[in-house]
Amino acid sequence: MQNKKTWKATFQAFWYILPLFIIIGVFNIYPIIKSFAMAFYDDFNIFSGEIGGYGLTNFETLVSDEEFAEALMNTFVYVLFVTPISIILALAVAILLNNIKRLKPIFQSIYFLPFVTSTVAISIVWRWLYHSEYGLINYVLSLFGIDTINWLTNPDWAMPAAIIMAIWKSLGFNILLFLVGLNNIGKTYYDAAKIDGANAWQRFVNVTVPLLGPTIFLVSIISIINNFKVFDEIYALFNGQPGPSNSTITVVYYLYKKFYTEFDYGVASASGIVLFLIIFVITIVQIWFNKRFVHYR
Amino acid sequence: MNKKFLLGLMLAMFVFVLAACGNSSEESTESEEEASGDEAVETTEDASEDEASGDKTTVTFWHAMNGPHQEAITELTNNFNESQDEFEVVEQNQGDYSTLNQSIMASGVSDDLPTLAQATASNIPDWASNDLIVPLDDLLAGENFDQEVLDDIIPGFLEGVSYQDQMMAVPFAKSVRIMYVNDDILEEYDAEVPASFEDIQALGEEMQAAGDDRFALGLEAGVEMELETMARQNGAEWISDDLSTVDIGEENATEPMQYIVDGIDAGWARTAGEDGFMSGPFGRGDVALYLGSSAGLSHVEPGAEESGISWSTAELPVYGGGEPLTLLAGNDLTVFSSATDEEQEGAAAFMNFLLQPENTAEWAMATGYVPVTNEGINTEVYQTYLEENPNAAAAAAETEYAIASPMFAGSGEYRDAMTQAQDAILIDGAEVTETMQNLQEETTQIIEENN
């Protein structure tokens, strides 16, 4: 094994990554470049490949489209609720799971199930849970004297309905990552803290959270990126509609609609780029935050 | 410096890749149905490929039929292949309608289209204006399509496949709107099967007066089909065939919308809403009358059987004392321009086969669609079938006055605007006339821009 950085070694390494690079190139990189380009085409005919011209018309359409503003707004609301709540709940569950001795694998599997189940199947079940007449959720609420909530047909409740389902669905994966992180924290830190007289809460705040920093960072980056791309949950929960009265339209839903029902390929690509830039900027901020505040051992 | 640049590049790639992939499951609605459908395809596909031999011209046929519908199409295809030695049809299921459309869009770009495919009316203008599909007038006048079959197609169905005065498709899987009737509720109130929307309102008011919390009228989640039907019965043109007139915002059209709004507000009418399709609530016995597609018969049956209600079907009621009228839905067969002349001839032969009286009748019996030719309706097998299955009779009777909405480019956009207007009225409580007038303006603009 030679460790020197020579051109020859680089060239050899190139052969190893070539197969994967071809796959990524064909299925990811080329489409990305192409869709970037498409965002700047005017009057693009996708079948003949004719381009009417180049310019920023698609972005101008986006800026003046109220529906896009609504989609952006909804997406932000979704991310702002789903990400932190999901992370906090997942962390809590992971710590509880980590403390039980028996049956841990069983509980772990149960919590992980939603993650491996298809979103469509989950949505069908949740559609019943949310049903105004026959739904379990409204039944439970009625026991507390709360009036029926039209989760799926009232525009004010549609977004909360989607958010609750998304949090539940994302728990499993986050719990798994947190469990791995928790297992990596040496028992000696807790022993030392106990000797110093720290109670459970103090141990959590001063030992667990800082040492779990890298995991929390990883989970939050993945969650934010995934949540910005929300589409399946909305599409399936509201039966192929963006919620009652367009109330849960998200950026990806907007993109889908522009591309597949309105054949407005340029505007669809442009909205994709806007979403990419938003995710990119937020990720950079997160990385900066990570460097500044997260401790690595 | 260099390191930082590399780090930045890697970060960009990381975000790109994460942001770009992972949306794989988005197209799979009704996944169960599809999954079972797909399996079946593979076997038929293999089988037909093995058979395809020597000098036969292979004709590829893409469709979006699943479950029992798919079995029927497979059987018809096999029968066709056995019937002659010139062409070999290979049928391929592409999933559901939206997946089929996506496949066609993708293969249209990569020049890899099949010979023929199922198409809904909203696709045809777009495909035609991009020259993806060929006008069929000449092809059907050729040796592989019988003139009698062409002349025998139900006139309303033919109108529905013409675009800019050319025949762009052959009608195939056609459905109409019918009324599902809960006979138990009607008997309770000693009511006749309503012939008009006024009768339905009267029934609704009677049920309300009796303190009944069931609904007299149930509509699908989107009411645009019923609304257009009622408006046209009421004398509106809606969107005229030559696209010159749009009167969605005029009184003839706003009256029925107001009727629906009043019914929902009063509590005797409802839309499917959270139930997705009205077949569910109707099957549970929650509504007396359900206006829906004749192709929904197979969805109503199991639910109704489970809850034990007795039900039947009837022709659509009429609004405002006008003439009976129903709108056609479903899909047609289109032939792609990328196919060779021989393949196109094969497609013509196959379509000719599908429209033979026995075959269109058999197809209708297996699926709940209606036969597309008069001969097909009059075949002995189909008439016997109607006698044994009186629930299918309403749809067959309606073919006499079924009409098609005109096709135009931009209909996807129009439908989105329509849905938004309907939601604004039914959910947000927007004023009917004003909203419909805005919709009229928007529709006129969409038609002008795209046609």
Q: CB contact, 8 Å: B106 with chain A?
A: no
pLDDT at A54 over 80: yes
Chain A CB contacts of B287 under 8 Å are none
pLDDT tens string A247-267: 999 999 999 999 988 888 999
pLDDT at B2 over 80: no
CA distance B245 to B406: 12
**Chain centroid, CA B170 distance in Å:** 14
Q: What is the dihedral of CA B5, B10, B16, B22, to 10 degrees?
A: -170
Q: How far is CA B203 from each of CA B169, B189, B190, B221, rounded to the nearest angstrom?
A: 42, 8, 10, 22
Q: Are A94 and A175 in contact (CB under 8 A)?
A: yes
Q: Which residue has the higher pLDDT, A127 or B32?
A: A127
Give pLDDT, residue B18: 54
Give pLDDT, residue B27: 38
For residues B71 and B166, membership in a common domain is answered with yes
pLDDT at A296 over 80: no
Distance from CA of A97 to the nearest CA of B (A): 28
The phi-psi region of residue B269 (left if phi > 0; otherwise alpha if psi is between -120 and 50; otherwise beta) is beta
What is B367-428 written as a DSSP string?
HS-B-SBHHHHHSHHHHHHHHH-GGGHHHHHHGGGEE-PPP-TTHHHHHHHHHHHHHHHHTS
Q: How far is CA B253 from each of CA B248, B257, B293, B403, rounded to the nearest angstrom?
A: 6, 7, 21, 17
Q: Are B59 and B346 in contact (CB under 8 A)?
A: yes
The SS3 call for residue B246 is: strand
Q: 0.90 cut: is pTM over it? A: no
Give pLDDT, residue B28: 38
For residues B267 and B415, membership in a common domain is answered with yes
Q: CB contact, 8 Å: A286 with chain B?
A: no
Q: How far is CA B100 from each of CA A258, A263, B28, B77, B144, rounded to the nearest angstrom?
A: 18, 15, 12, 19, 27
Mean pLDDT lowest for which of B43-52, B316-325, B332-341, B402-411? B43-52
- Of B22, B416, B428, Cβ closest to residue A257: B416
Q: Which residue has the higher pLDDT, B434 or A43?
A: B434
What is the largest distance, in Å, between two alpha-carbon atoms of chain A? Answer: 75
Final residue in a domain of this structure, among B372, B394, B416? B394
For residues B79 and B123, membership in a common domain is answered with yes
The verdict on a CB contact (< 8 Å) between A260 and B109 is no
Residue with tokens 């257009």: B228
pLDDT tens string B20-33: 544 443 333 333 33
Q: CB contact, 8 Å: B110 with chain A?
A: no
pLDDT tens string B358-367: 999 999 998 8
Q: Which of A217, A198, A132, A44 is nearest to B275 (CA)?
A: A132
What's the whole-number mean pLDDT along residues A128-156?
Answer: 92
What's the whole-number mean pLDDT along residues A49-68?
Answer: 92
Establish how many alpha carbons lie within 13 A of residue A131's alpha carbon, considering only the half-sphere containing its beta carbon. Answer: 14
For residues B63 and B104, membership in a common domain is answered with yes
For residues B337 and B451, membership in a common domain is answered with no
The verdict on a CB contact (< 8 Å) between B15 and A24 is no
User: Which residues 226-245 on chain A approach chain B with CB closer than 8 angstroms?
Assistant: 226, 228-229, 231-232, 235-236, 239-241, 244-245
In a domain, B287, yes or no: no
pLDDT tens string A60-95: 999 999 999 999 999 999 999 999 999 999 999 999
pLDDT at A101 over 80: no
The SS3 call for residue B301 is: helix
In a domain, B385, yes or no: yes
In a domain, B373, yes or no: yes
Residue in chain B closest to A241 (alpha carbons) equals B419
Q: CB contact, 8 Å: A45 with chain B?
A: yes
CA distance A114 to B368: 37
Q: How far is CA A182 from each of CA A103, A167, A179, A210, rounded to the nearest angstrom?
A: 18, 21, 5, 11
Give pLDDT, residue A103: 83
For residues B422 and B362, membership in a common domain is answered with no
Segments making up each domain of chain A, as ranges: 52-293
For residues B79 and B168, membership in a common domain is answered with yes
CA distance A61 to A68: 9
* CATH at B390: 3.40.190.10
CB pairs under 8 A between A and B: 106
Question: What percentage of chain A reaches a pLDDT higher than 70?
Answer: 98
pLDDT tens string A158-214: 999 999 999 999 998 999 999 999 988 988 999 999 999 999 899 999 999 999 999
pLDDT tens string B317-351: 999 988 999 999 999 999 999 999 999 999 999 99
Mean of the per-residue pLDDT values of chain B: 88
Mean of the per-residue pLDDT values of chain A: 91
What's the whole-number mean pLDDT along residues B431-436?
Answer: 96
pLDDT at B42 over 90: no
Q: Does domain A52-293 have CATH number 1.10.3720.10?
A: yes
Chain B CB contacts of A278 under 8 Å are none
For residues B351 and B440, membership in a common domain is answered with no
What's the whole-number mean pLDDT along residues B76-88?
Answer: 94
- Domain limits at B170? 53-175+329-394
Question: What percentage of chain A reaches a pLDDT higher than 90?
Answer: 69
Q: CB contact, 8 Å: A277 with chain B?
A: no
Mean pLDDT lowest for which of B120-129, B390-399, B424-433? B120-129
For residues B337 and B241, membership in a common domain is answered with no
In a domain, B38, yes or no: no
In a domain, B130, yes or no: yes
* DSSP code at position A152: T
Q: CB contact, 8 Å: A109 with chain B?
A: no
Domains: count for chain B:
2
For residues B75 and B154, membership in a common domain is answered with yes
- Which of A36, A218, A256, A261 should one mutate to test binding to chain B, selecting the residue with the greatest count of B CBs within 10 A? A261
For residues B166 and B245, membership in a common domain is answered with no
For residues B142 and B69, membership in a common domain is answered with yes
Question: What is the amino acid identity at position B350?
Answer: F
In a domain, B247, yes or no: yes
Residue in chain A closest to B419 (alpha carbons) equals A245
